[in-house]
Every structure is written in structure tokens, then in C-alpha cells.
Structure 1
Amino acid sequence: MKPCGEDDADAARCSWDVRCSGLARATHNPIRAVVENLHLEPNPGKQLIALSLGDPTVFGNLQPPGELLEAVQSSLESLSYNGYTAGRGSQEAREAVAKYSSTPGSTVDPNDVVLCSGCSGALDICITGVADPGQNILVPRPGFSIYRTLAEGCGIAVRSYDLKPADGWEADLVQMEQQIDKNTALLVVTNPSNPCGSVYSRRHLMDILEVARRNYLPVLADEIYEHMVFPGKEFISMGSLSQDVPILVCSGLAKRFLVPGWRIGWIIIHDRNGILQKENNALVAYDILKRVEGLYPVMPEGAMYMMVGIDMIDFPFEDELEFLQQLMREESVFCLPGQCFDYPNYMRLVITVPEDLLKEACHRIADFCARHHKTICTLPT
């Protein structure tokens, strides 16, 4: 080892000095920051039921379609796709995504498709491809934390516009527009919503587009849950509505096809529509929790989640973090706190678990609230 001396001041190196990069220091994941500081101690006498991870494959009750597995097996056995391909993805793959994403009223051109490493990779490309350090983007609150993680690490500021639970988590358009200034580069819209499970109407999407139009602001439409829409609700892609506002639509295979680990996502600028044929789990959770004093579930309309408000005044806990830690200790049920989505006093439930486990989890939550509520609570049956 070479010691440093006065004569070495201008030398290249004379000791170890490996530092964390500015990008790494600036990158922050709010979900991990919150969850890793929770002291989670499940009740050893009860099976752990985790309603926290947005992965539809966790419990094994939802399986990818056989056609998908057969297609991948056939591709592997052909030995034709083991080499490097175009940066945007192979022509054949982009044509398949374009066909899949086209609707009778709007045809997607394969040249408008960019294949990415999952929808998260698509979001990364969109945010960093449009916004420069020193600019800002608008994201929903409550909203998924990845937008903030991707932007702030690159020196892009994040501003939040509020969603209104009383109005089915529609955006506060007045407050949204107040957040826009000359440095705003992008408006992020999540539809269907994570964590809220809301599905926006054509009218509301048009209202959002009008805000973007007046302010010459492009839109990033995170539509990874596009086909997970309950009966009676219609998903409308923002790309199909806009005549003049640039729309970057991000989606992928992860949620609908139940293969998040495959990391197949894409960016397109056109529309697609879809309906999920399953609403039972949302109704199961909502019907139980809506009768629990101190809890205020908001019925979702799509995606995989339900947001449940917690009236902290009714419970002897400082905030929802303490509430959820104690719930874990006593009932072995874990939900993500609203603080993970910049929306305190709420918790997010994943509703794709098997129905019997979801019922059990909701009844445990009800039992927990009954024990700790400051007034007598009548438990649902």
C-alpha cells in the first residue's frame, strides 16, 4: 500500500476513496423506506396473510394462460431468438404488440412500439427521455412510488396532484393545474390506478387532457392494469382520445398475463381496451370492511388494489404505521401503509389473493379494529 504524503497531493490516487455516486444517493424508494422501518412481528399462532405485494402470482391461485407458456416454449426450442436484436425489440415482436394493442377505431403502427424491460423500464425511458434535471413532473397522490424513485434519482423534481376518494379517486383538476409551471415536463396519469383501483371515465380523461392541452404538457399514461377492469366499467386508453396532446402509453405482460418476473413491457402512443371478468374479491373485501367502525374502504373499479381509510382518532395508535405493525403482531395480516403512496391514514390491500384467504384477512382486520376501537364495534358476520 502506498501512503499519501505531501508530494502526492496531485497524484492520481494514493489511498482507497470509493464513493457512492450522486445518482445512487438521490435514488429513494418510499415503499422500502417505510416498510423496512416497520417492526413486523406476526402472531406465531396464526398463518401470515400478506396483502401487501402487488404480485398476482404469490399465492398460486392465478396462473398464466397455457397459450403463453406454449408460445415461449416454442420460441426457445426454435433456437431462432438467442441472439442480439434491435434496441426497440424485434420487428416480429413489435408487430405482435401493435396487433394486440390496436382497436377497431385506432390501429397501432409497429414503428410506434418500443419493447422494454417491464413496464417499470418503460416508465424509466419515458420520464428520463422527456424531463431534464431541474425540471419537474406531476404525479398522482396517492400514487405508486416508482415515479418518484425514477425521477428524483436523475435530479427531476416531483410534484403531486391530489386524487379525491369521495369522487372515486378522480383527480383534483384545479389543484393539478396549479402545480404546473414553465419547468413542468410531464403529467403522469395512472389508469386503472395503483394503489386506488379506480377506473376513469371518458369524461374525466377528456378533462385531464384539456388541462394538458391548455398547458402544452405531454402525458405519460401508465396503463399496466388496462385489461383488469371489472364488469360494468370500461377502460379507455388516453392514447385513443387525444388529437393533439402527446401521449406515451406504458404497459406490458406482467399483470394481465400473470408473469411479472418475465419483465416484458412496452411503450406505445395509441389506444387499447379490455375488461377483466372478475370482481368478486373486491366486493368480498369491501362488504366486510365497510361495516367496520373506523375504516373507510373505497370500492375499486379495476387493477388489483383497494385503498382503505383509517380514522386514526378512533384508535390508540399514533399513525397507520403503528396501526399496521400492531395488526401484524396480533393478526398476522400485512398491508402497505398509505405513507408508501404519499397518502397517510390509509392502507392498501391486494385483492388477488384466494377468496377464502381474503375473507379470513378481512375478518382478522375487523376483529383487530373491534378490540382497539375506542367505542364498541359490531363485527360483521
Structure 2
Amino acid sequence: MECNRSNKMPSISKSKIAISPCAENTINPIRKLVDQLIINPNPTKRLLKLNIGDPSVFGNFNPPPEVIKAVSDNLQTSCYGYIPAHGLIPTREAIANFYTTEKSPLTFEDVYITSGCSDALRVAMDCLGSEKGNILLPKPGFPLYQTIAGNRGIPVKFYNLLSEEDWVIDLKHLEQLIDENTAAILVTNPSNPCGSAFSVKHQMEILRVAEKHNLPIIADEIYQNMVFEGDSKSFGELSTNVPILSCGGLAKRWLVPGWRVGWLIVHDRHERLSQVKDGLIRLCQVILGANALIQGAVPQILATVPQSFYKDTVTRLKKAADILYSELKNIPQIRPFMPKGAMYMMVQIKVEELHDINDDMEFVEKLIEEQSVFPLPANIFGIPNYVRLVLTAPEDILREACKRIAEFCDVHKLRNLPKRSRGCP
């Protein structure tokens, strides 16, 4: 009996498979802009990378032995399997005790362990924002905030920071952006990229705006206590009536960004966030918890690292800032802004005083090509014609980078020649 079935294979569509809106809306501004940079270092000069906010890059900022020992000791425990998604109770208790103050007492129930501070920010923004609930972000600001918001379809608005006033928030502009759909204000203190640290007076002004409009604050405090001068504190410690979701972690203060353990601390003195706290637990369950080995070591880390380590880190960062500022302040074509904390310095580019450079992207491209110095263009952070320098490089590299930047600016300084538009020969 003959079979009438055809032996031909069905035709296969050649059309491309579409990605989801979630994927399409997930954009990392750093990656997008850096991918556009033309990076061709001068082969005769060592490339000096002052672009990455990773304190471990140069090998001169290392975690203290107590941190390494805590993880080594924890290898002998049973931290091999799944644990509660929002963290081990001993770890949460240790963090609560570490950050408790007389004015802001905390318990383990106020702490949620996350996969790094960036994950804490994701959880906080996911829990408060929505397609109708916008979040206010700083400009200039850390671009990951936009990445998280775009991924979830959360609308954002940008409030200005005032460079001439040590990068404080333009409170008038901030308040103008608030509407009936605003869900939260996100603040960064100390700041990446600005290196600023708000005074307590300014923090109280911010809290008054939030209280007036009945808004919670998401506080990116990954650089908390890494302050060179001034009286800056945690927003959670200062707030009486405004609910605070404080995001932190091991990455910067303990110099281990690759270990990916962070935390979200809820300061809620009037118990207004009961539903939010339930939502935080649910959102932590998306990835079933942070690294069990490292978070199991956190109690020992917080108990054994001496205060001298924290003080030494801040002293060394302040010295690096002093070196950069003293070396760069006399170059007419740029203007450094002395930081007050964190690991960064912002430098303004006076493009009107440079003959053949029209923006920060071109400045960085040519600086790499001619002098092999790589700062980060501040377009990435939402502000044009600035670059960000990291403070974690060794002193000899910082001084050499400043020398090369000075030579570069001298070569390109305006000499009564017409300005060239970008893209023209």
C-alpha cells in the first residue's frame, strides 16, 4: 500500500524572533555610551584607566584580613544550600545591630539581604514604582537607576544637582517635578558620580520636601560613612516621619564589589510600610536569595573589622582627591570639583577653550588616543562636558595621569583658531 505522505520538510520561516518589551526597554547607559567610544590608546604609553569604580582594580585597596578570615571560617559551616530568600536571620540581626542608633533602632525584620546594592535598588524601585507611579532621580546620577526603571516600565523624572553648590539638590526643581503620580524620591549620598556628601542641614531640607508631599525616600547609601569632611549621616537616622528604604552592601566600604552581597534597610517609625515590607520579601524571592557563603560571613565581618581599617580607607581616598585637585586646578581648560566623599571626582571640560574638542565624548576619545588616559565621560550620568575620575588608583598613576591631561590640554588649547565642529575635517 502506497503512502501518500510527502517527504518534503515543512518550510521554515526566516523572520527574526522578537524580543520582549522587558528586554527591549533594558538599557545600560554606561554600556551604550562606552560602546560608542573610539578606544585606541597610544601604543607608546601605558593605558591609565581612571574610569571604573571598582576599588580592587589596581590592587592597592584590598579588604582587611578579617574579611578574608570570616569567609574562610564560614566555609566550615553548612552554608551550602538554599536559605531564606530575604536572608539569614543572624546576618540580618548583625546588620540591624551595626546600623542601629539611639534615634533609629532596627531589628532583623527591617533588613533584607540582596545580591549586591544594585539588587537592593532594584527591589526598592520595583516595590514602590509602577507604570503609573514615577520615581524622581538625580542628574547627574548613577545610570543603573534608569536601567532598572526602564526594565520595569517605571517612568522617571530627573531633578538637578547644583555643581556650584557642592552638588546639592536643587530643591525648587525637585518640588516642581512632584505630581499626584510620584511614588518616591531616590537620593544618592555620598554620591557616585559627584563625590558629594550632603550636610545634615541639606538632608533635613530634603526630608521636609518628602514629608510635605507624603513621599518615601529610596536612599542609595552604598558609600555611607565614606565621607572626607562634613557631618553627613544616613537618611534613616535623621528621618522622623519620612519612610526610608536605605540600600547598601559590602562592595565599597569593605572593598569587595565582586562578592555581591547587599542589603536594604527599612526605616519606618510609624509603621506605614507594612504592605511594602511584604512586597520586599516577595521581590527577594525572584532570585531565591543572595550568596549564602558570603552573607553567612557578614556577622563576623561586621564584628571583627577594626575601625582603623575604615578610617584608613577614607584617609587614602581623601589624599587621592587632594592630589588630583592640586594637580588639575591650575589647568585653564578644565575645572576639578573637590569631592567630599565616595571614590570619585568630577572635572568640568571648558570646551570653549579647546580648539578641536566639542564635548566630553570627543575629549575622552582624543585623550585615550594621544595620552592613554581613560576617564569616564559624564554624558553617561546625564550631564555633558564633564568627566569622572576614580580616586582608587595608586599615587604615581594619579600624578602621571594629571601630567598627561595637562599636556593634552596644552596641545588642544584655543590659539585664536576657529572652533571645529565635530565630524568636520
Q: TM-score, normalised by structure 1?
A: 0.92
State the match for 1:160 in structure 2: 158
State the match for 1:328 in structure 2: 368
Alpha carbon RMSD of aligned pairs, Å?
1.8
Q: CA contact under 8 A between 1:249 and 1:268: conserved in structure 2?
A: yes
Is residue 175 of structure 1 aligned with residue 173 of structure 2? yes
Q: What is the distance in 2 between the residues matched to 1:277 and 1:112? A: 32
**Shift in Å at residue 370 of structure 1?**
0.9
The one-letter code of the counterpart of 2:333 is: G
Task: Give % identity.
Answer: 47
Q: CA contact under 8 A between 2:96 and 2:106: conserved in structure 1?
A: yes
**Shift in Å at residue 277 of structure 1?**
3.1
The one-letter code of the counterpart of 2:253 is: R
Q: What is the distance in 1 between the residues matched to 2:17 and 2:365? A: 38
Q: CA contact under 8 A between 2:225 and 2:233: conserved in structure 1?
A: no
**Aligned 1:58-77 pairs, distance under 5 A:** 58-77=57-76
The one-letter code of the counterpart of 2:244 is: I
Q: What is the distance in 2 between the residues matched to 1:134 and 1:330? A: 48
State the match for 1:347 in structure 2: 387
Is residue 18 of structure 1 aligned with residue 34 of structure 2? no
**Aligned 1:105-124 pairs, distance under 5 A:** 105-124=103-122
Q: CA contact under 8 A between 1:119 and 1:264: conserved in structure 2?
A: yes
Is residue 314 of structure 1 aligned with residue 314 of structure 2? no
Q: CA contact under 8 A between 1:197 and 1:300: conserved in structure 2?
A: yes
Q: What is the distance in 2 between the residues matched to 1:189 and 1:81? A: 34
Is residue 186 of structure 1 aligned with residue 184 of structure 2? yes
The one-letter code of the counterpart of 2:177 is: Q
**Shift in Å at residue 103 of structure 1?**
2.8
Q: CA contact under 8 A between 2:104 and 2:236: conserved in structure 1?
A: no
**Aligned 1:89-100 pairs, distance under 5 A:** 89-100=87-98
The one-letter code of the counterpart of 1:283 is: D
The one-letter code of the counterpart of 2:346 is: M
State the match for 1:7 in structure 2: none
**Shift in Å at residue 53 of structure 1?**
0.4
Which residue, out of 224, 227, 248, partners 1:226?
224
Which residue, out of 200, 203, 208, partners 2:201?
203
Which residue, out of 299, 302, 312, partners 2:338?
299
State the match for 1:8 in structure 2: none
The one-letter code of the counterpart of 1:164 is: L
Q: CA contact under 8 A between 2:30 and 2:143: conserved in structure 1?
A: yes
Is residue 361 of structure 1 aligned with residue 401 of structure 2? yes
Structure 1: unaligned runs, 5 residues or longer: 5-13, 377-381
**Shift in Å at residue 17 of structure 1?**
6.0
The one-letter code of the counterpart of 2:11 is: P
Q: What is the distance in 2 between the residues matched to 1:234 and 1:264? A: 27
State the match for 1:338 in structure 2: 378
**Shift in Å at residue 244 of structure 1?**
1.2
Q: What is the distance in 2 between the residues matched to 1:237 and 1:265? A: 16
State the match for 1:277 in structure 2: 315
Q: CA contact under 8 A between 1:24 and 1:153: conserved in structure 2?
A: yes
The count of residues paired between Structure 1 and Structure 2 equals 364
Q: What is the distance in 2 between the residues matched to 1:269 and 1:375? A: 56
**Shift in Å at residue 270 of structure 1?**
4.2
Q: CA contact under 8 A between 2:101 and 2:237: conserved in structure 1?
A: no
The one-letter code of the counterpart of 2:350 is: D
**Shift in Å at residue 355 of structure 1?**
1.0
Three-state SS of the structure 2 residue aligned to 1:43 is: coil
The one-letter code of the counterpart of 1:2 is: P
Q: What is the distance in 1 between the residues matched to 2:173 and 2:103? A: 33
Q: CA contact under 8 A between 1:229 and 1:277: conserved in structure 2?
A: no
Q: What is the distance in 2 between the residues matched to 1:159 and 1:149? A: 14
**Shift in Å at residue 217 of structure 1?**
1.1
Q: Deviations over 1:345-371 (max 9, x none)?
A: 100000111111111111111110011
The one-letter code of the counterpart of 1:250 is: C
State the match for 2:240 in structure 1: 243
The one-letter code of the counterpart of 1:314 is: E
Q: CA contact under 8 A between 1:2 and 1:15: conserved in structure 2?
A: no
Q: What is the distance in 1 between the residues matched to 2:84 and 2:253? A: 26
**Shift in Å at residue 375 of structure 1?**
4.6
**Shift in Å at residue 101 of structure 1?**
1.6
Q: CA contact under 8 A between 1:209 and 1:245: conserved in structure 2?
A: yes
Structure 2: unaligned runs, 5 residues or longer: 1-8, 269-306, 417-425
Which residue, out of 327, 335, 355, partners 1:288?
327
Is residue 265 of structure 1 aligned with residue 262 of structure 2? yes
Q: TM-score, normalised by structure 2?
A: 0.83
Q: What is the distance in 2 between the residues matched to 1:103 and 1:44? A: 53
Q: Deviations over 1:88-144 (max 9, x none)?
A: 101111111112222344322111000000000000000011111132111111100
Q: What is the distance in 2 between the residues matched to 1:94 and 1:220? A: 19
The one-letter code of the counterpart of 2:135 is: I
